[in-house]
Amino acid sequence: MNNVINVIAFVAITLSSSLFLSAQAAENNYKQGYISDELFIYMHAGPGTNYRILGTIIAGSEVKITGAEDNGYSEVIDDKNRATWVESKYVSTEPGLRFAVTELNAKIANSSDFTSQLDGEVNELNSKVNLLTNDKKKLSAELKKMTTTLAETQSQIKDQDTNIKKQWFFTGALVLGIGLILGLILPRLFARRRGTMDSWS
């Protein structure tokens, strides 16, 4: 009896594993699909209007396409993991307007973040430019001051040079005058002294 129960349990486990693997393999073969942009679409239990309506699916919903088609209907797996049939004309592999709008909003949000980042960088650059402008003003003021000081120093040197030349001129004139005076007086003195000495003789 125990052997029979063990065999049944083994067979049940094997079948369960096989069914799970088959379902997983089938799911891996599903294609990504979307419901077209209608207000809502009826979902049927089979490929036709004569099959029971299981509910509705919202336009733009994301589904998995199993690949099964019949009578103008396609089998899909909805977001609640239910296998159902909808008209093939409403099934597409391209995202609908809702996904496009969502993607566009995401891009806009990213653009806004990027714009904010750029604004921050621009503000930082403006601050650096302002600092450099202030530094330039300070350097220009210092350069102007140094230029004025240099001009004053050059003027003083020029004045000193003129004064030195004047002093040399006056000194030279004085020496020349003394030389002339000595040149005129000394010969006369020597001549008078010689005359005096001749008279003594």
pLDDT at 7: 46
pTM, two decimal places: 0.36
Distance CA 103, CA 62 (A): 14
pLDDT at 23: 45
- The first and second tokens of residue 47, run together, are 């490929």
Residue 41 CB partners (closer than 8 Å, separation 6+): 35, 56, 57, 59, 86, 87, 90
pLDDT at 198: 60
CATH of domain 2-95: 2.30.30.40
pLDDT at 194: 66
Domain locations along the chain:
2-95, 96-144
Distance CA 90, CA 36 (A): 5
Cβ neighbours, 10 Å, residue 76: 27
SS (H, E, C) 16-68: HHHHHHHHHHHHHCCEEEEECCCCEEEEECCCCCCCCEEEEEECCCEEEEEEE
Each residue's pLDDT, cut to its tens digit, for the chain (201 residues) gives: 555 455 455 545 655 555 444 444 445 577 766 565 556 778 888 888 899 988 888 777 788 888 888 889 989 988 788 889 988 888 877 766 666 666 777 788 777 777 878 888 888 888 888 888 888 999 988 999 999 889 888 888 888 888 888 888 888 888 888 878 877 777 777 666 666 666 665
